[in-house]
Amino acid sequence: MPQIDVVDETFVVVAPAAAAAVFADPGRWRRFWPDLDLEVYADRGDQGLRWTVRGALVGTMEVWLEPVLDGTLVHYFLRADTPGPRSPRGLNRERVRRQLAAKELALGLKTVLEGGRAPGTAPGDA
């Protein structure tokens, strides 16, 4: 069983293609996950990407983009091991750190991609 297992879901009121464009840009990966080296093993287009992960963690990561209503449900999965031994307390700290980072990334993308859209308005409405 992976030592670090992170699952997150965030609804963003944009088309899957708009969210996919953000994750398809390898230049952004280092900003999103600065201590991870990623290699795509499945490019699913507007449905997202799957990566192998090396660096601070070793395993797999996925962003799955699911069309829902007038937007996209961004699913994030990280399943990885730490390359060296860690105490149970250290593993828990790392797990929580990764969970918080995933939500911070998702909420940051929501803010940028929705572009100030007021709650309850359709995409593109002022």
- Cα–chain-centroid distance for residue 51? 11
pLDDT of residue 125: 55
Residue 44 inside a domain? The answer is yes
- pLDDT for 5-44, tens place per residue? 999 999 999 999 999 999 999 999 999 999 999 999 999 9
On the question of pLDDT at 126 being above 50, the answer is: no
Residue 124 inside a domain? The answer is no
- In sequence order, the 6+-apart residues with CB closer than 8 A to the CB of 26 are 38
Q: What are phi and psi of 36, to 5 degrees?
A: -120, 140
How far is the C-alpha of 107 from the C-alpha of 121, rounded, in Å? 18
The DSSP string of 26-84 is HHHHHHHSTTEEEEEEEE-GGGEEEEEEEESSEEEEEEEEEEETTEEEEEEEEEEE-SS
User: Residue 9 sits in a domain of what CATH number?
Assistant: 3.30.530.20
The predicted model scores a pTM of: 0.88
Domain count, the chain: 1
